[in-house]
Amino acid sequence: MPAVEETRSALPTVDDSERIANLILDLQAQGLDIRTKFERRPGGAGPSDAGMIWIEGTPVTVPVDAEFVRGTPYTLQAEDDGFGIYRSGSRVASAAPASRPKYYDMSTADGIPYNQIALMHLDSLASTVLQTCAYWGNEDQCTFCGIGVSLDSGNTVKVKRPEHLAEVAVAAKELDGAVDVTLTTGSTYGRDRGALYVGKCGKAVKEASGLPVEVQFEPPEDLSVIDRVADMGVDSLGIHVETFDPAVLARVAPPKARTGIERYFEAWEYAVGRFGEGQVSTYVILGMGEDPELIIDGCKRAIDMGVYPFIVPLRPVPGSLMADAQPPDQEYTERIARHVAPYLVERGITADKVAAGCARCQACSPLGAIEQSLQLAGNGRKLIPVMSSDG
């Protein structure tokens, strides 16, 4: 994997940043045809169907294996010196595919390959610490989720132990330049929804590696569980509602709908009180049939509370209940992102201030690149205004 200093380029111009933002939007909508050796994530829990790539210094994951990618005009091709992204035969950007991490060739003392414990997502180490979920395989299964696909593939282990995660994190930092760690979990039937175990894993990783850590879990029944996780020393927290449209939530994630969107806002408000503004985030998946105005309004309400809404276009997971779905087109994702990104910049809750996790990495979303172009535009000139929800 390229070292961080080799891949995150010097600050681009406004035009460069805007060009890359538009390219990311289109690539995540149409995918990338790979015509060279490439490190990829073929399926499972997110980022799913992910081609890992740096585009002129910006980290990006793009669909590479889904059926719809067959029609993409974009290709990644090896060149005499490096790689290029081409659209219909015309070169549009330079690129640096992620190479196989060095720590993937290592194992624990009891024989578990490191890459079955945690994976590198460009410069971020990530793991699902409990690769099972109370909702998988029954009427409660979230339609977009692929947690069981990963387990069935044989490429991971069901339960990751804190000491093993800590061991892998140290190796990923020292050998492959990992800059943060993201730990998520399948939900449990326990009142804490798995929060305390993922928090325990985060604590072990933080103490061993010194890397900033985000943990992710559902709202626990007792919100004081969030205090206990915060006391373990992790840096950031993800509590993912997935959509602000209640009708869509009921269809794609029945258990989350039963929890209720208002309960997510209660959990976020509590969590911001412990972790601080910008260190609490939520996934917001676009392209599941939602009302875009509900999404924009929900994102702005979350931002006003100090929560980072991490907008991502739907990426259908092979083997999931939404395997045959199509991601939203560029225009749809862009419309929502260009309402939300200026609001984040105006409120000062931006990706560059997030300590760890998906909102720090930004590879699966266009938001970070759009934020950067807005911040550059506002450096010495009038900042692009926040768009109204009917714009």
Q: Is 75 helix (H, G, I), strand (E, B) or coil?
A: strand
CB atoms within 10 A of CB 35: 12
CATH of domain 4-377: 3.20.20.70
C-alpha 107, offset from chain centre: 26
Rg of the chain over all Cα atoms, to the nearest angstrom: 19
Contact of 121 with 178, CB cutoff 8 Å: no
Domain boundaries in the chain?
4-377
Judge if pTM exceeds 0.85.
yes
Q: List, in sequence order, every residue forming a beta bridge with 82; answer none if it has no partner.
A: 79
Angle at 289 between CA 284 and CA 292, to 5 degrees: 60
Contact, 76 vs 36, CB < 8 A? yes
pLDDT tens digits in sequence order for the chain, 391 residues long:
444 434 444 455 678 888 999 999 999 999 999 887 776 665 555 566 678 899 998 999 998 887 888 899 999 999 998 999 999 999 999 999 988 999 999 999 999 999 999 999 999 999 999 999 999 999 999 999 988 887 887 888 999 999 999 999 999 999 999 999 999 999 999 999 999 999 999 999 999 999 999 999 999 999 999 999 999 999 999 999 999 999 999 999 999 999 999 999 999 999 999 999 999 999 999 999 999 999 999 999 999 999 999 999 998 887 889 988 889 999 999 999 999 999 999 999 999 999 999 999 999 999 999 999 898 887 644 333 333 344 4
Distance separating alpha carbons of residues 369 and 93, to the nearest angstrom? 15
Q: What single-letter DSSP state applies at residue 259? A: H
Helix extents (H) in 276-365: 292-305, 330-347, 358-361
- For 124-141, write each residue's pLDDT tens digit: 999 999 999 999 999 999
Whether residue 74 contacts residue 34, with contact meaning beta carbons closer than 8 Å, is answered with no
Strands 213-216 and 180-184: parallel
Rounded Cα distance between 122 and 277, Å, is 26
C-alpha separations of 263 from 257, 285, 335 in Å: 10, 18, 27
Question: Which amino acid is located at 109 in the chain?
Answer: A
By residue count, the chain amounts to 391
Q: Could you give phi then psi for residue 238, rounded to 5 degrees? A: -110, 125
Q: In this predicted structure, what is the pLDDT of residue 148?
A: 87
CB 198 within 8 A of CB 165: no
- Give which of 149, 95, 42, 71 is closest to 51, Cα–Cα: 42
